[in-house]
Amino acid sequence: MFNSSEIDNCEVRIIHQDVVDKVVASLPPDEELYDLAELFKVFGDSTRIKILSALLEHEMCVCDIAAALGMTQSAISHQLGVLKRAKLVKFRREGKVVYYSLDDDHVKQVFEQGFSHIKEIYSGK
């Protein structure tokens, strides 16, 4: 009825069945990998990286961050919302002013880990 080439045209060929099986079995659940990608996605924007880099140095309020980066308060506030939802920053309110800071050392570690990676790459390894 169908020859093998017709069927294969709609399927992905497997060359090493044993490796595929092993890898599929060892793969973390989709949801965790999805969450991991979401985490890195938050780090993957230069505005947010700049904000994190600033907060690495000192706790700051929104308008000071905006001034330091030369951007709109609105834009900064939007990105702080993203960072907040990802639990990368925490904040405290003091009167009208809201101060932001890094949530925990984990953020700092990921940040610095990535940094040393690009240093390694661009220095000819």
Partner DNA sequence: CAATCATTTCAACATCTGTTCATATGTTCA
Partner DNA sequence: TGAACATATGAACAGATGTTGAAATGATTG
Binding residues vs DNA (CB under 7 A): 5, 8, 13, 15, 41, 44-45, 47-48, 61-64, 71-75, 77-82, 91, 93, 95-99
User: Which pair of structure tokens corresponds to residue 70?
Assistant: 């030369």
Residue 79 burial by Cβ neighbours in a 10 Å radius (0-12, 13-18, 19+): buried
CA–CA dist 4, 23 (Å, integer) = 26
The interface partner of residue 98, options being DNA, a copy of itself, none and the CB cut-off 5 to 8 Å by kind, is: DNA
Is residue 111 a contact partner of residue 56, using CB atoms and an 8 Å limit? yes
Give the chain's largest Cα–Cα span.
Answer: 77
10 binds a copy of itself (CB under 8 A): no
Which residues would be at the binding site for a copy of itself (CB under 8 A)? 12-16, 19-20, 22-24, 26-28, 30, 32-46, 48-50, 53-54, 57-58, 60-61, 63-64, 66-68, 71-73, 87, 97, 104, 106-107, 109-111, 113-118, 120-122
